[in-house]
Amino acid sequence: MGVRFRADGREFQAEVFLFDKDGTLFTFDHWIRVMEERARRLSRTFSLSSPQHLALSKFLGAVRERPGEWGIIPLPRPEAEEATAQFLAQMVGTSPAELLPVVKTVFAEVDQEFPFHRHLQPTPGAEELLQGIKRGGGKVGVVTHDVAAAARLHFRALGWEDLIDAVVGLDVCPVKKPAPDPVVKACTLLWANPTRSVMVGDTANDLAAGRAAGCSAVLGVLTGLGTAAELRPLSDAVLPNLLGIELG
């Protein structure tokens, strides 16, 4: 038996609910503060000037000159680290390969020390939906382009540890969405068949991964980067937010 739910007037049933993280379960707002701290620490480490610090902050996405400009925030974690090393290499006159370990260390330190509990903002309906799925006997997995260890810190900051059964990040499955591999990996960890699972995400890559994995339903939400026009061709329903998934 799975958990019955409705979305956009249609009836569905699933044993496993898979979610993207940023833009689906969380807003992107906390990343601005995270990138501010990463920029501050990197600037101090490499003794950057004030103009260099500002340029780095803009590159990371900590300073947004126009709505919709996120810098490298949407990039998968390894790509964001590599891009930052390349950007810094042009400033300090050394190779990206020499800088990458330092960048990785700074990113990881911020992961451990940043007060996520003050800045993380769940998208509308996220916590209530996760609680309802668990009460109904369903399983919850998160498929993210972040690393799983960092994602678990975010869930712990909100007290969601018991609501998430599996996390697949790029340290668990290095293959990125839209390939089906991370979705299949999440289902494997949860002892479930993708055909008994639903994938929920805010980008075309999220939905394409779910579709390619054979998920029984693929749902788009407009709380992240994707537009309705981008998500609709790949989804069974496009919802304003997770409040559009009604359990029972």
In this prediction, residue 66 carries a pLDDT of: 79
> For residue 69, what pLDDT is reported?
81
Q: Hey, what domains does the chain have and what are their CATH numbers?
A: 3-27+122-247 (3.40.50.1000), 29-117 (no CATH)
pTM (whole model) above 0.85 = yes
Q: What digits encode the pLDDT tens for the residues 41-67? A: 999 999 999 999 999 999 999 998 777
What local confidence, expressed as pLDDT, does residue 139 receive? 98
pLDDT-flagged residues of the chain (< 70): 1
pLDDT at 65: 77
User: How many other CB atoms are found less than 10 A from the CB of residue 230?
Assistant: 16
% of the chain residues with pLDDT over 70: 100
